[in-house]
C-alpha cells in the first residue's frame, strides 16, 4: 500500500488528468483506490462528479476534525473512493500556518484509513504551499506530470529542492516514482525536452507518453475515465500502459 502524490507547481500540466485516469486504470485491474482531491480548484472532484455538491470534503478533515472515512464518497463510474475538495480549502494554508505539526496534519488524519486501500492518490494544487507539503509528508512516492512543450527545468529543480528540504528539515524521504510525459506531440521540441530531462536528472521517465488527444478533454466533460469514454483512442491505450508502469 502506498500513498502517491501527483505534483507539479506548474499549472495545467495534467496533474488532475493523470490522477483521475491512473486511479481509474488501477482500479480497472482490481485494485482498491482512494483519490484525495487536495486542490481548492476541485478539478478532480468536478471531473469525476460534475456539479454534484458535497456536504463533507477534505476541508472538514483538515479544519473540522472530521474523520476522513466520513468524507469518502464512492464513484461507481470510476470504481474508486474519493475525498472531494471545495473552494474553502484555499484558506487552509493560512488557517493551519500557526499549528504545531502543521506539515503532518494530512498524514496523521489518513494513517488509519489508508490501510483499507491498495493505493491512495493525492491530486495536488499547482503550488508548493502548505497543502502540498502536507501531501508530500503523507506520501511515500510522487509522480511528476509534465507537458514537454511548456516545460522548464527550473520546475523539476524546485520540486527536488522541496524534497531535499523535507528530508533534511523534517526527516521524511519521498521517492520520485517517475515523470509522466503528457500532451505529447511528435515534435522535435518535445523530443529534445525529454532528452534534456533525461540528461539533467537521474529520474525515471515512464515510457508510455500520453498523447495530446481531444478524447482526454471530452472525458473530463463527460465525467468518465478516458479508458471508458474512448477505449480505442491512443490516450486510453497510453493510460492502460501507464497504469501498469506506474504501479509499484
Ligand atoms: N493528453 C491530453 N490531451 C488533451 N488535453 C489534455 C491532455 N491532458 C490534459 N489535457 C487538458 O489540459 C488541461 C489541463 O489539464 P489538468 O487540469 O489535468 O492539469 P493540472 O496540472 O491538473 O492543472 P492545475 O495546475 O490547474 O491543477 C485540461 O483542460 C485537460 O483536459
Ligand atoms: Mg489539477
Does ligand 1 have an atom closer than 6 angstroms to the CB of 15?
A: yes
Mutate to test the pocket of ligand 1, among 8, 13, 16, 41 (most ligand atoms within 8 A of CB): 16
pTM of the model: 0.97
Q: Which of 38-52, 126-140, 148-162, 221-235 has the least mean pLDDT?
A: 148-162
Predicted pLDDT of residue 149: 79
Ligand showing the shortest atom-to-Cα distance for residue 221: 1
pLDDT tens-digit series, residues 180-215: 999 999 999 889 999 999 999 889 999 999 999 999
pLDDT recorded at residue 101: 93
Nearest atom of ligand 1 to the alpha carbon of 126: 25
Whether the predicted pLDDT of 245 surpasses 90: yes
- With cut-offs at 50, 70 and 90, classify the pLDDT of residue 163: very high
Expressed in angstroms and rounded, the spacing between residue 98 Cα and the centre of ligand 1 is: 33
Q: Which three cell numbers stand for residue 76?
A: 461507481
Q: How far apart are CA 18 and CA 109, in angstroms?
A: 24
Find the ligand nearest to 147 CA. Answer: 1
Domain hosting 217: range is 2-246
Burial class (CB in 10 A: 0-12, 13-18, 19+), 203: middle
Cα(209) to centroid of ligand 1, in Å?
14
C-beta of 43 in contact with ligand 1 (< 6 A): yes
User: At 97, phi and psi to the nearest 5?
Assistant: -55, -35
Q: Cβ neighbours of residue 131 under 8 Å, at least 6 residues apart?
A: 38, 40, 89, 92, 93, 124, 125
CATH of the domain at 149: 3.40.50.300
Name the percent of the chain lying above pLDDT 90.
Answer: 89
CA of 17 to the centre of ligand 1 (A): 6
User: pLDDT per residue over 39-89, tens digit each?
Assistant: 999 999 999 999 999 999 999 999 988 999 999 999 999 999 999 999 999
Residue nearest (by alpha carbon) to ligand 1 atom 18: 14
> Is 152 a residue whose pLDDT tops 90?
no
Ligand 2 centroid to residue 125 C-alpha, Å:
6
As for how many domains the chain has, the answer is 1
For the chain, give the percent of residues with pLDDT over 70. Answer: 100
Residue with the nearest Cα to atom 3 of ligand 1?
A: 212
Distance 204 CA to ligand 2 centre (A): 22
- pLDDT surpasses 80 at 1: no
pLDDT for 110 equals 95
Amino acid at each position: 500500500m502506498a500513498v502517491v502524490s501527483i505534483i507539479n507547481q506548474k499549472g495545467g500540466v495534467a496533474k488532475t488528468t493523470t490522477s483521475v485516469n491512473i486511479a481509474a486504470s488501477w482500479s480497472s485491474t482490481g485494485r482498491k483506490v482512494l483519490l484525495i482531491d487536495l486542490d481548492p480548484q476541485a478539478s478532480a472532484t468536478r471531473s469525476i462528479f460534475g456539479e454534484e455538491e458535497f456536504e463533507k470534503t477534505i476541508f472538514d478533515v483538515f479544519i473540522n476534525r472530521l474523520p476522513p472515512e466520513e468524507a469518502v464518497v464512492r464513484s461507481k463510474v470510476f470504481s474508486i473512493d474519493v475525498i472531494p475538495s471545495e473552494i474553502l480549502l484555499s484558506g487552509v494554508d493560512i488557517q493551519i500556518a500557526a499549528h504545531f505539526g502543521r506539515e503532518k496534519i494530512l498524514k496523521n488524519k489518513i494513517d488509519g484509513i489508508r490501510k483499507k486501500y491498495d493505493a491512495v492518490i493525492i491530486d495536488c494544487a499547482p503550488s508548493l504551499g502548505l497543502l502540498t507539503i502536507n501531501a508530500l509528508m503523507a506520501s511515500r512516492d510522487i509522480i511528476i506530470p509534465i507537458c514537454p512543450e511548456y516545460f522548464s527545468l527550473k520546475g523539476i529543480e524546485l520540486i527536488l529542492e522541496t524534497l531535499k528540504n523535507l528530508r533534511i528539515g523534517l526527516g521524511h524521504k519521498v521517492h520520485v516514482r517517475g515523470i509522466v510525459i503528457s500532451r505529447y506531440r511528435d515534435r522535435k521540441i518535445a523530443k529534445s525536452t525529454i532528452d534534456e530531462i533525461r540528461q539533467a536528472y537521474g529520474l525515471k521517465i515512464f515510457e508510455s507518453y500520453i498523447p495530446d488527444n481531444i478524447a482526454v478533454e471530452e472525458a473530463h466533460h463527460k465525467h468518465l475515465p478516458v479508458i471508458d469514454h474512448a477505449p480505442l483512442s491512443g490516450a486510453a491505450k497510453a493510460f492502460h500502459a501507464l497504469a501498469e508502469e506506474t504501479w509499484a
